[in-house]
Structure 1
Amino acid sequence: MDNDKKFSFKKLIELYEEMLSVPHRTEIARELRDEDDLFLLLVYSDMLGIPNPAFYYTLELYPFIIEKFHDWHLRMGMEKSPLDGIRCC
């Protein structure tokens, strides 16, 4: 019986968190997209001519984020990649 109370309380907390987050889903998605855009800017900043002190550490991430970069430049309104070194289209 004690296990049933824990389960129902846990379920109640999950339901409460869901109710709080429903009205803000678009805001949360926008914030996550903005964070992704900032991350891409930091990773590709050296190619854009902005000095990046962490270039050495972000270099190994390039193969994993090429698809995200493609989605980003399309979302920013660029038909083709703005970087000469990356041809994703």
Structure 2
Amino acid sequence: MFKVNTITRGIMIGLILPAISLFIFLYILKGEFVILNKPGVPYMAAVFFNLLIMRYCARKGMDKIATGIIAVSFIFLIAVFVFKLQPIR
């Protein structure tokens, strides 16, 4: 499945699920989708699935791909926390 073990390949793979979740929840559902009165849950699901993919890559010895995926996941997680979960003052 993943033949090239580079960080840029991991970043590209790691961007897929957050991009899909942003497209679905911001543009299709217009940001009105809230689970259990928490607006960040759909985005956290994307990060969770990214971490599962990262674990698979780490177990298969593709450490650089796993590093790229985890970097994207943490950046996306911080962005969701700052822009979606913090109240605007």
Give TM-score, length-normalised by structure 2: 0.35
Q: Which has the larger radius of gyration?
A: 1
Q: Which has more helix, going by share of residues?
A: 1
Task: Report the TM-score, using the length of structure 1 for normalisation.
Answer: 0.35
